[in-house]
Amino acid sequence: MGNTMIKVFFLLCIVLTSTGCWNNKDINHRLLPAVVGISKNGDKYKLILELPVLESDNMKIQIIKATGKSIADAVDWLSMNMDRGVDLFHVKLIVLDKQFAKQGLTDVMSGLMRSREVAPNAQMAICNEDLDYFFGNVQKSKPPTGDYLLDFFEKDAGWTPNIALTRVWQVYRSLHSSTRDVIIPIIQTGKLTEVEHIGSAVIKNGKMVSQISPNDTLLYNAFDGQGTQGIVEVMDLATVLILSDWKSNKSMIINEKPFMKSQLNLKVTILETKGNPSMDLIKKDLSTLITNRFHRMLTITQKKQADILGLGQTFRTKLPRAKLKNWREKYYPILKLDFQVNVDIQNEGFLKSD
Amino acid sequence: MDRSMFVSISYFLTHLGLIFFMYPTDIIASTDEAYWIPITLGIIIHFIFLSIYMKGLSYFPRKNIIMIYLSHGKIIAWIFLLPVAIYLIMIIIITIRSYSEIITIVFLSNTPLWAIMFLLVLVATYLSSRGLDSILRSSLLLAILFLPLTLFVCFVSFQNVDWRYIFPLTTNDFRFITKPSYLMSYFSIGGVFLFIGFIQPLFTYKPKKILYTVLLLVPFWIISVYIPILTFGNSTVPHFYFPFVEAVDSIDINWLMFDRVTVFFLLSLITFIILFLSLILWMFMQIITTCIPKFRPNYLLILISFISFVCCLFIPDWKDVEDLFLINSPFRFFCLLIVPPSLLILGIRSKRKEKLENG
């Protein structure tokens, strides 16, 4: 008898507690923005939320704005002044104001990682123009596709290897790492399409220090092993599509000076030609083009002491950690890199070339 | 009755539950390079002392450790069983408190702490009131339900790995041995293994199979530390409270219908922790009921659970939980380093005695 009573008591308790009926908020009482814009004015953060709203079988975009001393403060202000609570659980893309990125993102990134509300794998982007203007245009776009901005960065949707894919955790990692900086894609309102990608911001220790072009970003992605299927124009000769790439690095320290040998192997196919160039000429021109581009990108980042390619990583076996801490300032600017591109033309399409 | 498989499974699951939360944090806090050295040291200690423990137990067929100590006199029983009992009750309180805090930090930020603790205590108490047989059988059920998911998450957590972070592989710095955080990491190494000594009169098991299970656990000890290191690098990871959880959170799988695999992964681990709690509660009850045989065991169990629940309510913050972990360390090392050899010595002595009496 006693045992049955205990069993019933236990079961009752489990039934009562496992419902979890406190502070619960139904989904129709939540606002779940998918895109968030953050800018900073003085010491006040401005938050712009893009919410997909379903109105009689039509997707519409609602834009909500709030300001606050911190992001949490702004979210709280919104929740206070609306009939629903704002939850950032499903944020997929964070768009930052360019000026804000230049001032430094350290606090915001740490806050995002600390609160755990925003997923660490949310995408980052920087907006080249005023956020109000940008989101205003996104709202006006017709037909209003709420996922436009998201699909723009989605690998199985609108992404191309010219666009950097950088996530919250990667930016956070770069704040503390001594050998790894990141790039964040820069977007703006497009003239012909809704959104235009104009290159990538170089972020060093959470601050935007420079900018590289989409072509450089393609190289960055190739170097980073992001799987490039990018299209490259070879001077006045042809347009080629990169099918696959792999690279090998060799690093050494001679007299306290870092040296690196890097080889990038590309397999390409010909898309269009101008006139009738020989395959050897295309190969040669493509490899010089990429080498030049690479060196230009490297010089820019070396000047800014921002190791976006993570080249310092390859020196982890060569330099002790105490020295590696000064990698950006001491070693990276004087790094000599012997960069070689090896091009194989895997096929030439349906047409034979002479 | 041979229950080797069930014992192995519960041994495996409870360790998994313990490994993925605090273990990486403690190891990473104890040193800043060549993490494999402290990990390997821990694993070797675990393996050696588990072997000694089972060897010692094998001298006393059909006896659990309470019976063994009692058969050598009351004083010996008190000396060895009291610290074990203190260790067990402390572990119960610490586990309930820390894991409910983890649950609030990680996903139930709005739910009051007492409710989470209440649920943890409740399920564990019920499970342990049904006895070892039920605990072992439910471990098989939990393994079928949650192990595939856990293994899947472990597998995909390699997604963002940058292998170059593995360097440097060597270090001259062995100060980690004396660091409090390293001592705390033994919670996941010596937390469960005592329960092998409580099984025997009820069921039998094959020691070899338990040792194979430990070998299966070795990769999990390693990846729980190395996945966050390889993902974030060793200058970023020390900033995280739960590095492995953070590393799992950075996984991006767009073909999976769920947005964040972390929640599923954590819930599976929490069920393993409930299993762990019920095992520890059951072991503690075994000791207590031998001391106070007059009480009805189930009422006593409810009383103990209630007391530990109230104790948990009086622990205000995470700092105190960490302090408790540290206070608990001497008892843990007593269970890990002194109990197994003592059993071996007692076993060899009693065997000698038998020989003398027979010959």
Is the bond preceding residue B168 a cis peptide, omega within 30 degrees? yes
Confidence of residue A2 (pLDDT cuts 50, 70, 90): low
Q: Do A183 and A282 share a structural domain? A: no
Q: If phi over 0 gives left and psi between -120 and 50 gives alpha, with beta otherwise, what is residue A227?
A: left
Which of A57-61, A207-211, A269-273 tops mean pLDDT?
A207-211
The per-residue pLDDT for range A158-183, each reduced to its tens digit, is: 788 888 888 999 999 988 888 888 99
pLDDT: is B358 or B6 the higher one?
B6
Identify the CA nearest to B232 among candidates A109, A287, A232: A109
Interface probe with A: pick from B252, B255, B305, most Cβ of A within 10 Å: B252
Is the bond preceding residue A33 a cis peptide, omega within 30 degrees? no
Q: Do A33 and A125 share a structural domain? A: yes
Binary contact (A119, B168; C-beta < 8 A) = no
Q: Do A201 and A53 share a structural domain? A: yes
Confidence of residue B275 (pLDDT cuts 50, 70, 90): very high
Q: What is the CATH number of the domain that holds B263?
A: 1.20.1740.10
Residue A126 above 90 pLDDT? yes
CA dist B76 → A301, B50, B324 (Å): 70, 21, 27
Binary contact (A14, B110; C-beta < 8 A) = no
Tell me the helices (H) and strands (E) count for chain A, helix number first: 10, 14
What integer pLDDT is reported at residue B225 of this predicted model? 93
Give the structural domain span for A315: 226-349
What integer pLDDT is reported at residue B89 of this predicted model? 92
Residue A180 per-residue DSSP state: -
Q: Do A237 and A149 share a structural domain? A: no
Three-state secondary-structure class, residue A19: coil
Residue B306 per-residue DSSP state: H
What integer pLDDT is reported at residue A82 of this predicted model? 82
CA–CA separation, A276 vs A97, rounded Å?
47
Q: Do A234 and A206 share a structural domain? A: no
Q: Which residues of chain A have a CB within 8 Å of the CB of B231? A: 169
Residue B273 above 90 pLDDT? yes
Binary contact (B165, A313; C-beta < 8 A) = yes
What integer pLDDT is reported at residue B51 of this predicted model? 93
Is A4 contained in some domain?
Answer: no
Q: How far is A168 from chain B (nearest CA, A)?
A: 9
What integer pLDDT is reported at residue A142 of this predicted model? 62
Per-residue b/e over A10-33, b at no fewer than 16 CB within 10 Å? beebeeebeeeeeeeeeeeeebbb
Residue A74 above 80 pLDDT? yes
Binary contact (A314, B165; C-beta < 8 A) = no
Q: Average pLDDT of B128-143?
A: 91
- Structural domain count of chain A: 2
Q: Average pLDDT of A86-91?
A: 84
Q: Average pLDDT of A180-201?
A: 87
Q: Which residues of chain B have a CB within 8 Å of the CB of A317? A: 167-168
What integer pLDDT is reported at residue A354 of this predicted model? 62
The per-residue pLDDT for range A195-204, each reduced to its tens digit, is: 888 889 999 8
Is A290 contained in some domain?
Answer: yes
Q: Average pLDDT of B144-164?
A: 90
Is A37 contained in some domain?
Answer: yes
Nearest CA in chain A to B238: A176
Q: Do A345 and A205 share a structural domain? A: no
Q: Say which residues have a Cβ less than 8 Å from residue B347's Cβ, sequence separation at least 6.
A: B55, B56, B57, B58, B59, B60
Nearest CA in chain B to A123: B252
Whether the CA torsion A343, A344, A349, A353 is positive or negative: it is positive
Is A18 contained in some domain?
Answer: no
- On average, the pLDDT of chain B sits at 89
Q: How far is B75 from chain A (nearest CA, A)?
A: 35
Residue B21 above 80 pLDDT? yes
What integer pLDDT is reported at residue A342 of this predicted model? 87
What integer pLDDT is reported at residue B227 of this predicted model? 93
Compare CB distances from A317 to B123, B125, B167 and report the shortest one's residue.
B167
- Structural domain count of chain B: 1
Binary contact (B250, A90; C-beta < 8 A) = no
CA–CA separation, B320 vs B317, rounded Å?
6
Residues of B with CB under 8 A from a CB of A: 32-33, 105-106, 108-112, 115, 118-119, 122-123, 125-126, 129, 160, 162, 164-165, 167-168, 231-233, 235-236, 239, 246, 249-252, 254, 259-260, 296, 298, 302
The percentage of residues in chain B with a pLDDT greater than 90, rounded to a whole number, is 40
Confidence of residue B142 (pLDDT cuts 50, 70, 90): very high
Q: Average pLDDT of A322-342?
A: 86
CB pairs under 8 A between A and B: 87
pLDDT: is A212 or A4 the higher one?
A212
- Within an 8 Å CB–CB cutoff, is residue A326 touching chain B? no
Start-to-end Cα distance in chain A: 96
Residue A75 above 90 pLDDT? no
Three-state secondary-structure class, residue B23: helix
What integer pLDDT is reported at residue B250 of this predicted model? 87
The percentage of residues in chain A with a pLDDT greater than 70, rounded to a whole number, is 94
Q: Say which residues have a Cβ less than 8 Å from residue B138's Cβ, sequence separation at least 6.
A: B127, B275
CA–CA separation, A169 vs A110, rounded Å?
10
Is B92 within 8 Å of B283 (Cβ atoms)?
Answer: no
Identify the CA nearest to B17 among candidates B147, B132, B198: B147
Q: Average pLDDT of B190-218?
A: 88
What integer pLDDT is reported at residue B295 of this predicted model? 79
Is A20 contained in some domain?
Answer: no
Three-state secondary-structure class, residue A269: strand
CA–CA separation, B24 vs B157, rounded Å?
15
- Within an 8 Å CB–CB cutoff, is residue A133 touching chain B? no
Compare CB distances from B246 to A18, A120, A155 and report the shortest one's residue.
A120
Start-to-end Cα distance in chain B: 33
Q: How far is B142 from chain A (nearest CA, A)?
A: 18
Q: Average pLDDT of B137-142?
A: 93
Interface probe with A: pick from B35, B126, B303, most Cβ of A within 10 Å: B126
What integer pLDDT is reported at residue B211 of this predicted model? 92
Residue B124 above 60 pLDDT? yes
CA dist B353 → A61, B221, B283, B349 (Å): 85, 41, 30, 6
Is A10 contained in some domain?
Answer: no
The pair phi, psi for residue A352, each rounded to 5°, is -80, 145
Q: Say which residues have a Cβ less than 8 Å from residue B313's Cβ, sequence separation at least 6.
A: B114, B117
Q: Do A66 and A201 share a structural domain? A: yes
pLDDT: is B35 or A143 the higher one?
B35
Binary contact (B111, A2; C-beta < 8 A) = no
Residue A331 per-residue DSSP state: I
Please name the amino acid found at residue B222.
I
- On average, the pLDDT of chain A sits at 83
Q: How far is B7 from chain A (nearest CA, A)?
A: 26
Please classify residue B297 by burial: count the beta carbons closer than 10 Å to its beta carbon, then call 0-12 exposed, 13-18 middle and 19+ buried: middle
Binary contact (B110, A316; C-beta < 8 A) = no
What integer pLDDT is reported at residue A18 of this predicted model? 67
Residue B167 above 70 pLDDT? yes
Q: Say which residues have a Cβ less than 8 Å from residue B359's Cβ, sequence separation at least 6.
A: none
Per the document, the length of chain B is: 359
Token pair 């990038």 is found at: A264
Residue A1 above 80 pLDDT? no
Q: What is the 3-state secondary structure (H, E, C) of A84-113?
A: CEECCCCCCEEEEEHHHHHHCCHHHHHHHH
pLDDT: is B309 or A231 the higher one?
B309
The percentage of residues in chain B with a pLDDT greater than 70, rounded to a whole number, is 99
Long-range contacts, stretch B172-179, CB < 8 angstroms, 24+ apart: B173/B31, B173/B33, B174/B37, B175/B31, B176/B30, B176/B31, B176/B37, B176/B38, B177/B38, B177/B41, B179/B29, B179/B30, B179/B31
The ipTM value here is 0.84
Q: Average pLDDT of A138-150?
A: 69
Of A80-89, A91-100, A230-239, A318-327, the poorest mean pLDDT is in: A230-239
Is A156 contained in some domain?
Answer: yes
Is A247 contained in some domain?
Answer: yes
Interface probe with B: pick from A12, A109, A168, A180, most Cβ of B within 10 Å: A180
Q: Do A253 and A199 share a structural domain? A: no
- Within an 8 Å CB–CB cutoff, is residue A29 touching chain B? no
Confidence of residue A235 (pLDDT cuts 50, 70, 90): low
Q: Which residues of chain B have a CB within 8 Å of the CB of A111? A: none
CA–CA separation, A186 vs A133, rounded Å?
15
Is A212 within 8 Å of A297 (Cβ atoms)?
Answer: yes
Q: Do A202 and A103 share a structural domain? A: yes
Q: Do A97 and A74 share a structural domain? A: yes
Is B251 within 8 Å of B160 (Cβ atoms)?
Answer: yes
Please name the amino acid found at residue A178.
S
Binary contact (A177, B235; C-beta < 8 A) = yes
Binary contact (B33, A23; C-beta < 8 A) = no
Residue A144 above 60 pLDDT? no
What integer pLDDT is reported at residue B9 of this predicted model? 93
The per-residue pLDDT for range A25-37, each reduced to its tens digit, is: 777 788 888 889 9
